Amino acid sequence: MPYEAKNFDHLLGTPGFSDQLLKNHFTLYQGYVTNTNKLADILDQMLKEGKTGTPEYAELKRRFGWEFNGMRLHEYYFGNMIKGGKELDKGSAFYKKLTDDFGSYENWEKDFKSTGTMRGIGWVVLYLDPIANRLFNTWINEHDLGHLAGSIPLLIMDVFEHAYMIDYGLKKADYIEAFFKAIDWSVVVNRFNNAPKVTL
């Protein structure tokens, strides 16, 4: 069954994000969905034709992770945003876990934002390691590199230039401030609450 692009038009009008920037970003995301489906179909056909030992198959197989993660990370990213933002419930188990693991919410926020302002393109992901029950802020350089195996993404921030340059130029820190005002913390808390418990 092919993947279908989700509609995130409800984010249009989000303070700090021009409609032009968001529409461009939605189009880019839709391209990842299209390419994920194309690659899945081509790889399936090559398997049926016995072409799995070819260099073409190998390169397309490697490319699949880029397209799939580009699709899914954008869905997490747009999914944890809402026009006007939603505050974090300080009575939630997630808030307690965040403060336990980082010492304070402020420490976590400083680390997350600092990760986002590092030089380079990529993503910042707040991950839950369900085996150790531990939270990490992680830098992902490319869609398919840097993920923590088995960990669950809770909060995703896109820091590729397309996420902010139309509105902010090189002022990535200003974009990050706008992003924080648009976080839907109820979604993040729900991801945390629904995370499976895992043992090895």
Query: Is 147 a known ligand-binding residue?
Result: no
Between vectors from CA 135 to CA 105 and to CA 161, what angle results, nearest 5°?
A: 80
Query: Is 10 a known ligand-binding residue?
Result: no
Query: Is 158 a known ligand-binding residue?
Result: yes
Give SS3 for 140.
strand
**Distance, first Cα to last Cα, the chain:** 31
Domains defined along the chain, listed by start:
18-79 (1.10.287), 93-193 (3.55.40.20)
Q: Which residue has the tokens 């302002």?
A: 117
For the chain, 200 residues long, give each residue's pLDDT as a single digit of tens: 899 999 999 999 999 999 999 999 999 999 999 999 999 999 999 999 999 999 999 999 999 999 999 999 999 999 999 999 999 999 999 999 999 999 999 999 999 999 999 999 999 999 999 999 999 999 999 888 889 999 999 999 999 999 999 999 999 999 999 999 999 999 999 999 999 988 87
Sequence-distant (≥ 6) Cβ neighbours of residue 132 within 8 angstroms: none
